[in-house]
């Protein structure tokens, strides 16, 4: 319509719209939150409803260390993207590697916890309602961490091979949005499963 014969007298305001990557990720986060919400509701609904043991009181321990790791990884990722924005590729790579490591520690911690629960306490997803809701909620979160780790790894590989430049800060922003979301969900899961649920 650039050829519209007449145009109203409007001031030529600049036409800027929000970034589509950010919008897309925000939408994804809303949708994912709804999924988590349903799993959390199911967890709370079945709290104390199991017909047999083991109960959370008997077997769950507070995963303080891995929680600290996961939460601090949000911080390191933030610094990493900040560094990238200032074009400090070295700092960016280092912080990214730190994030990845912290995330991996978290996953290893979860793995060890599950191993103990399954082989020592005899709690599986089939055992009782606690097992059912516990493994699915924590497992759903762990799946998201793994997806996040995979994406971090990709970014890390690109960084190490020198493919990441300042102009990619945008994409790292979107990724870090996801990672912060995963961390935030952990706070909810932690509260529900390990604090309220015990």
Partner 1 sequence: MADFVTSLPSLEAIDATPAQKPRRLMTEILYDWVTTVDHKKIGLMYIGYALLFMVAGGIEALIMRIQLAVPHNTFVSPEVFNRMFTMHGTTMVFFMGMPILFGFGNYLIPLMIGARDMAFPRLNAFSFWISALGGLLLYYSFIGGSGLYGAGTAPDVGWFAYAPLTAKAFSPGHSTDYWTISILLSGIGSIGTALNIVATIISMRCPGMKLSRMPLLPWLYLVLSNMVFITVSPLTAAQIMLMFDRYLGSHFFDTQAGGSAVLWIHFFWIFGHPEVYILVMPAFAFMNEIIPVFSRKAIFGYPAMVAASVGIGFVSMSVWAHHMFTVGMGAGANVFFVLSSMVVAIPTGIKIFNWLATIWGGKVRFATPMMFSVGFLFQFLIAGLTGVMLAAAPFDWQLHNSYFVVAHFHYVLVGGILFAFFAAFYYWYPKVTGRMMSERLGKWHFWLMVIGFHMTFDFMHIPGILGMPRRVYTYEPRPGWEALNLIVSIGALFQAVAILLFVINLIRSNYKGEIAGNDPWDAWTLEWSVTSPPPVYNFATTPVVYSRRPLWDIKHPEDPDWNYE
Contact positions vs partner 1 (CB under 8 A): 1-8, 10, 15, 17-20, 23-24, 27-28, 30-39, 42, 45-46, 49-51, 125-126, 128-129, 131-133, 135-136, 140
Q: How far is the CB of 134 from partner 1 (least distance, A)?
A: 10
In angstroms, the CA 133 to CA 138 distance is 8
Q: How far is the CB of 69 from partner 1 (least distance, A)?
A: 27
Nearer to partner 1 (CB atom), residue 16 or residue 162: 16
> Nearer to partner 1 by C-beta: 9 or 90?
9
Shortest reach from residue 10's CB to partner 1, in Å: 7
For residues 110 and 108, give the distance between their C-alpha atoms in angstroms, rounded to a whole number.
5
Q: Which is nearer to partner 1, 45 or 119 (CB)?
A: 45
Closest approach of partner 1 to the CB of residue 177, in Å: 14
- How far is Cα 110 from Cα 139, in angstroms, rounded to an integer? 9
Based on CB atoms, which residue is closest to partner 1, 95 or 135?
135
Asked if residues 77 and 179 have their Cβ atoms less than 8 Å apart, the reply is: yes
Tokens at 172, concatenated: 């790292």
Q: Please state the closest distance from residue 73 (CB atom) to partner 1, in A.
A: 25
Is residue 97 within 8 A of residue 156, CB to CB? The reply is yes
Phi, psi of 15 (to 5 degrees): -105, 90
37 or 160: whose CB is closer to partner 1? 37
Burial class (CB in 10 A: 0-12, 13-18, 19+), 33: middle
* CB-based contact 129:54 (threshold 8 Å): no
CA atoms within 13 A on the CB side of 27: 6
């Amino acid at each position: 319509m650039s050829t519209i014969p007449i145009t109203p007298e409007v001031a030529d305001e600049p036409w800027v719209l929000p970034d589509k990557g950010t919008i897309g990720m925000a939408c994804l986060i809303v949708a994912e939150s709804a999924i988590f919400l349903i799993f959390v509701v199911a967890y709370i609904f079945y709290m104390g409803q199991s017909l047999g043991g083991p109960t959370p009181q008997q077997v769950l321990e507070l995963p303080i260390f891995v929680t600290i790791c996961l939460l601090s990884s949000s911080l390191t990722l933030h610094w990493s993207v900040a560094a990238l924005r200032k074009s400090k590729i070295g700092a960016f790579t280092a912080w990214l590697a730190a994030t990845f490591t912290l995330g991996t520690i978290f996953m290893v911690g979860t793995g060890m916890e599950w191993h103990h629960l399954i082989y020592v306490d005899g709690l599986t997803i089939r055992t009782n309602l606690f097992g059912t809701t516990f493994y699915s909620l924590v497992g759903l979160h762990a799946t998201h961490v793994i997806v996040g780790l995979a994406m971090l790894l990709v970014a890390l590989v690109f960084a190490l091979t020198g493919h990441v430049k300042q102009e990619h800060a945008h994409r790292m922003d979107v990724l870090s949005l996801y990672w912060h979301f995963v961390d935030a969900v952990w706070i909810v899961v932690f509260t529900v499963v390990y604090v309220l649920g015990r």
